[in-house]
Amino acid sequence: MTLFSLILLSFLATPIAYLAARFWNPAAIALVPALLFLGFSALGQDVTQLNAIVQHVHWIPSLGITLSFQLDGLSLIFSLLITGIGTAIFLYASAYLPGNWRTPRFFATLTVFMASMLGAVLSDDLLSLLVFWELTSLSSFMLIGYSPEQADSRRSAQQGLLITVAGGLAMLAGIVLLGTFAGTYRISELLADGVGSSLTGSLGTGILILIAFGAFSKSAQFPLHSWLANAMVAPTPVSAYLHSATMVKLGVYLMARLSPVLSDVALWTPLLVSVGALTMLCGAILALRETDLKRILAYTTIVSLGTLITLIGIDHPTATTAMVIFLMVHALYKACLFMVAGIIDHSVGTRDSAILGGLARAMPITAAIACVASLSMAGLPPLLGFIGKELIYEATLSAEVSYAVLAITIFANACMVVVAGIIACRCFFSQPPQALGQTHEKAHDPSILMWIGPAALAGLGLIFGLIPGVAAVLMSAAASTVQGQAVDVQVSLWHGFTPMLALSIFTVACGVGIYLSWPRLQGWLKSLDIIDRHGPDAMYDSVLEGLARLSTWQTNLIQTGSLRHYMAMSVGIVALAVITTIFIHDAFVLPPLHTDGFRLELVLPVLLIGASIMVLRSHSFVQGIISAGTVGFGVAVAFLLGGAPDLAFTQFSVEALSVVILLAVIGHMPFRSADARSRRQRGRDAVISVIFGLMFVLMMFSVVALPFNESLSDFFREASLPLAHGRNLVNVIIVDFRALDTLGEITVLALAALSAVAVFFSAGHRDKPIVSKLDAIPGGKQ
């Protein structure tokens, strides 16, 4: 099975998912990601450290446009996570969501979301990647706004869409610059050609900033992270899928994919490490303020995303290995814990950790799953999370990052221990508060469809921790792809007594200390309203309000309701743009002027200029129309002297009719014919007219100075008689070679004539009283 067929299958499954959710069992939809998982597993056997499967599909052959897909180590691990965790999410959602009219639409949208993610991580072309990238934004907007009747659901969906799409536009600019510079948009060709070594100076910096902005908005990096926590208004299956294996990891994927290309830019390491560290710090502090389980997990996702970006920014093989392993660690435990939070909410009726406790006796299966996943989150042995945390510390020590980054990393991991304790210990094993009341009596383990997926993910975290060599081949292939060279990943649960082990023990001790004081710390952090009043979320609202005020001001400035104002703005902007372009590209050429004495050709421009000045200085519409007619007649004379008598007489006819018709219209207008413009307005119009005329003068000078191409003239002279049976070239061109164009002109003139007739005949009814239907009815209301 090819890559294209797998992606096509995932998109074609959308209507099937809708129909299955509406008329059959929604759990059957899980077969789609399960089959895709098996397909990628089969293809993944051919993927080694530096070997990839590449496929090109001709999309628009006439334009040379193809769709390119690539399955290497990095895209393989993402594809397996997307489809594997997707299988668990679809099973979970089939039992979690109520069976109403929204359920079919939800599963169809979730299928599009999965397919878009697969398309993004498998694309070998930056432009097609961007298309799938925006599809994930659109589908996540629909998933987050699952309940559009709720204000917070609408706001969160809009916030996520605006921030990620804005980042996508910036990324589009960076991709265009990169593709134009490299001469290709193929990712594999960019990596093979070694383009990164040539990206120096301001160009490379600009490309990095634009692409990084798009990745940071998608992966919720500081200060663009607020949308991710607010997206918790979505149903829990969406939150679990969004945070573990799909959309929020897409920015991480892009930076990892392009790291061999962009890592040579001097700003690469400072930008990614500083932004990643700030994101870790911000997410950890915000996580300690919350009591809602989903929001706590959302902020720990922000911490993890900051960790991944920091590791990508550290150009060291150990950091690459740590990034790949932590990517898998986070996906496994985060999807599991989100589903556990949903199970608690579904069973107990609340997600507030402040009033939860003692659920282990009523929910033993859920408690066991939560404990295993929480141990991995806290980085304790024998879970895979312990290996991932030690590799993070090894990477920071090997690369000799600053002490500030190391301190933030320790604090962030300590907060992970705190959150793990809140979920596992506080919710399941602590004494239930009295405030819980009768809610505790409803607690129970859910159906197997809801706990089988979390159990499998938690079990994988335990198996990979006990036997890390099971996934070593996959991790080596992914790390080699990111590093751009072969990386042999050797991981084990025990490395002896090392500085990394000492940091791990210190982290756990700090986490336990913070956990014991968490109730007081949480209350104090919650009381800091400066975060709510001036944080990134409040900043988002301020930006929207500023945009609204800017739009109002701009509308009042531009949309004045005056036709004269619209014409002045349009004509003036076009003229300035053309003149500026002419001088920027050095296109202005002054042709040689040949004069044989004082002739009419030199007198006519003076007369035309004088007539134009009369138009500008006219104080009434009648005077202006006559002056404009004089200009038209002067142009007709110019055509006559230039050897175009047919154009001249056409111009004479048009100008004569125009003057007569306009005078007739003005005579019947209900307002005075005097010009109501002020001196300032007339001066403005004069300046714009002069600029517009200057534009045409410059254009005509540049055109006349060019060598005359006689190929068309020769063609018409040779083809006029044999093809059109006519000797008058102008007539033949109008009637035969440009017959459709002439028909269009005749149609326009006919419509104009009909309009003029309507104006003339309406004059006779101007003073006739209009009799309403009520007047004809005896006793009608007057």
According to the model, what pLDDT value does residue 253 have? Answer: 92
Q: Are 304 and 392 in contact (CB under 8 A)?
A: no
Q: Is 163 helix (H, G, I), strand (E, B) or coil?
A: helix
The residue with greater pLDDT, 292 or 774, is: 292
* Prediction pTM value: 0.78
Q: Which of 33-47, 305-319, 497-511, 668-682 has the lowest mean pLDDT?
A: 668-682
Say yes or no to pLDDT of 444 above 70.
Answer: yes
The phi, psi pair for 104, rounded to 5°, reads -60, -40
Hey, what are 764's tokens?
């006779």
In this predicted model, what pLDDT tens digit does every residue of 539-566 receive, in sequence order? 888 888 998 899 888 888 888 777 778 8
Task: Work out whether the CA dihedral 316, 71, 377, 528 comes out positive or negative.
Answer: positive
Q: Are 130 and 37 in contact (CB under 8 A)?
A: no
Average of per-residue pLDDT across 727-755 = 81
- CA 248 to CA 78: how far, in whole Å? 12
146: closest CA among 165, 160, 164, 132? 160
According to the model, what pLDDT value does residue 509 have? Answer: 93
Q: Count of residues for the chain?
A: 782
The residue with greater pLDDT, 736 or 281, is: 281
Q: Is 674 helix (H, G, I), strand (E, B) or coil?
A: strand
The residue with greater pLDDT, 21 or 340, is: 340
Per-residue confidence band for 667, with pLDDT thresholds at 50, 70 and 90: low
Hey, what are 384's tokens?
């895979």
CB contact set of 724 (below 8 Å; sequence gap of 6+): 732, 735, 736, 737
Find tokens 């019947």 and name the residue.
Answer: 668
In this predicted model, what pLDDT tens digit does every residue of 414-437 receive, in sequence order? 999 999 999 988 888 887 765 444
Find tokens 């097609």 and name the residue.
Answer: 128
In this predicted model, what pLDDT tens digit does every residue of 395-418 receive, in sequence order? 888 877 888 999 999 999 999 999
Say yes or no to pLDDT of 590 above 60.
Answer: yes
Kindly write down the DSSP assignment for every residue of 45-88, as one continuous string.
Answer: TT--SS--EEEEEEEEGGGTEEEEEEE-HHHHHHHHHHHHHHHH
- CA 669 to CA 677: how far, in whole Å? 17
According to the model, what pLDDT value does residue 299 have? Answer: 92
According to the model, what pLDDT value does residue 671 have? Answer: 56
Q: What end-to-end distance do the CA atoms of the chain give, in Å?
A: 81
Per-residue confidence band for 593, with pLDDT thresholds at 50, 70 and 90: low
CB contact set of 760 (below 8 Å; sequence gap of 6+): 664
The residue with greater pLDDT, 618 or 407, is: 407
Q: How far is CA 750 from its chain centroid?
A: 48
According to the model, what pLDDT value does residue 752 have? Answer: 77
**CA distances for 726 relative to 50, 723, 734, 736, angstroms:** 71, 8, 11, 10
CB contact set of 284 (below 8 Å; sequence gap of 6+): 299, 300, 303, 411, 412, 415
Q: Are 208 and 267 in contact (CB under 8 A)?
A: yes
- CA 116 to CA 597: how far, in whole Å? 75
Q: Are 478 and 74 in contact (CB under 8 A)?
A: yes
CB contact set of 135 (below 8 Å; sequence gap of 6+): 112, 116, 119, 120
Average of per-residue pLDDT across 485-498 = 78
Q: Is 700 helix (H, G, I), strand (E, B) or coil?
A: helix
Q: What is the residue type of 423?
A: I
Say yes or no to pLDDT of 274 above 50.
Answer: yes
According to the model, what pLDDT value does residue 594 have? Answer: 60
Q: Are 663 and 551 in contact (CB under 8 A)?
A: no
The residue with greater pLDDT, 535 or 223, is: 223
**Residue 285 burial (C-beta neighbours within 10 Å; 0-12, 13-18, 19+):** middle
In this predicted model, what pLDDT tens digit does every residue of 179-197 receive, in sequence order? 888 888 888 888 887 777 7
Say yes or no to pLDDT of 646 above 80.
Answer: no
According to the model, what pLDDT value does residue 64 have? Answer: 63
Say yes or no to pLDDT of 774 above 50.
Answer: no
Say yes or no to pLDDT of 443 above 70.
Answer: yes
According to the model, what pLDDT value does residue 558 have? Answer: 80
- Is the link from the previous residue into 61 a cis peptide, with omega within 30 of 0? no
Average of per-residue pLDDT across 80-98 = 90
- CA 121 to CA 155: how far, in whole Å? 29
Q: Are 472 and 490 in contact (CB under 8 A)?
A: yes
The residue with greater pLDDT, 235 or 440, is: 235
CB contact set of 3 (below 8 Å; sequence gap of 6+): 43, 53, 55, 69, 70, 71, 122
Average of per-residue pLDDT across 249-256 = 91
According to the model, what pLDDT value does residue 78 have? Answer: 92
Per-residue confidence band for 508, with pLDDT thresholds at 50, 70 and 90: very high
Say yes or no to pLDDT of 351 above 80.
Answer: yes
Domains observed in the chain = 292-527 (no CATH), 566-765 (1.20.120)
Which helix H or strand E contains 531, and what residues bound it? helix 529-534
Average of per-residue pLDDT across 359-364 = 87
Say how many CA atoms lie within 13 Å of 619 toward its Cβ: 1
Share of residues in the chain with pLDDT > 90 (%):
26
- CA 617 to CA 611: how far, in whole Å? 10
According to the model, what pLDDT value does residue 779 have? Answer: 44
Share of residues in the chain with pLDDT > 70 (%):
92
**CA distances for 146 relative to 28, 158, 160, 332, 344, angstroms:** 22, 12, 13, 25, 20
- CA 216 to CA 225: how far, in whole Å? 9
According to the model, what pLDDT value does residue 595 have? Answer: 56
The CB density around residue 468, as the number of other CB atoms within 10 Å, is 19
Per-residue confidence band for 597, with pLDDT thresholds at 50, 70 and 90: very low
The phi, psi pair for 315, rounded to 5°, reads -80, 80
Q: How does the average pLDDT of the chain come out, rounded?
A: 83
282: closest CA among 205, 194, 216, 333? 216
Angle between helices 73-96 and 448-466 (to 10 degrees): 150
Kindly write down the DSSP assignment for every residue of 769-782, as one continuous string.
Answer: PPPPTTTTSTT---
230: closest CA among 280, 306, 164, 135? 164
Average of per-residue pLDDT across 191-213 = 85
Which range among 44-58, 154-168, 429-443, 526-540 has the greatest average pLDDT? 154-168
Q: Is 581 left (phi over 0), alpha (psi -120 to 50) or beta?
A: alpha
According to the model, what pLDDT value does residue 587 have? Answer: 75
Say how many CA atoms lie within 13 Å of 365 toward its Cβ: 17
The residue with greater pLDDT, 620 or 771, is: 620
According to the model, what pLDDT value does residue 85 have? Answer: 93
**CA distances for 269 relative to 50, 216, 323, 325, 636, angstroms:** 24, 15, 15, 20, 69
According to the model, what pLDDT value does residue 769 have? Answer: 47
Say yes or no to pLDDT of 89 above 70.
Answer: yes
CB contact set of 13 (below 8 Å; sequence gap of 6+): 29, 32, 111, 115
The residue with greater pLDDT, 576 or 438, is: 576
- CA 165 to CA 136: how far, in whole Å? 10
Per-residue confidence band for 675, with pLDDT thresholds at 50, 70 and 90: low
With residues binned 3-state (H G I as helix, E B as strand, rest as coil), the percentages for the chain, rounded to 5, are: 75, 5, 20
Q: Is 123 helix (H, G, I), strand (E, B) or coil?
A: strand
Which value, to the nearest 10 degrees, does the dihedral of the CA atoms of residues 55, 59, 61, 64 take? -70
- CA 10 to CA 446: how far, in whole Å? 29
Say yes or no to pLDDT of 72 above 90.
Answer: no
Hey, what are 633's tokens?
């007649």
The residue with greater pLDDT, 761 or 280, is: 280
Say yes or no to pLDDT of 293 above 60.
Answer: yes
